[in-house]
Amino acid sequence: APSAHRPARARVTVTALAGDGELLLRVADNGTGVDPADAAEVFRRGWSTHGAGRGIGLALVRQAAHRNGGAVTLERGPDGGAEFTVRLPLPEGSGARRERAT
């Protein structure tokens, strides 16, 4: 039986949208979300929900975004889980608007 903290079926939604001079990549899930006390820590190397994990994935995502003039944010997702948004600037002339969700 599913616990009170986890949905019966996990779902992850990935959305990419290009327009207005930037690329937005959103990854949202319907999990338990991130405790607000941990929101700043999830991007730190070595932080992990598993205690003894490597915890480098989100740190590398943020580092890559910053090196390319972008940013990464964390919010509560529409289904109650976590939603990460990566914003990257697009080169001029690439303002076509495309969307893809899976």
* 68 domain residue, yes or no: yes
Q: What is the CATH number of the domain that holds 26?
A: 3.30.565.10
* 101 domain residue, yes or no: no
Burial letters for 46-74: b for 16+ Cβ neighbours within 10 Å, e otherwise? ebeeeeeeebeebbebbeebeeeebebeb
Report how many domains make up the chain.
1
Decide if pLDDT at 91 tops 70.
yes
Q: What is the reported pTM?
A: 0.76
Residue 25 pLDDT class (50, 70, 90 cuts): very high
Residue 1 pLDDT class (50, 70, 90 cuts): very low
What residue type is 80 in one-letter code? G
Decide if pLDDT at 75 tops 80.
yes
Domain that holds residue 51: 12-90
Mean pLDDT of 59-87: 93
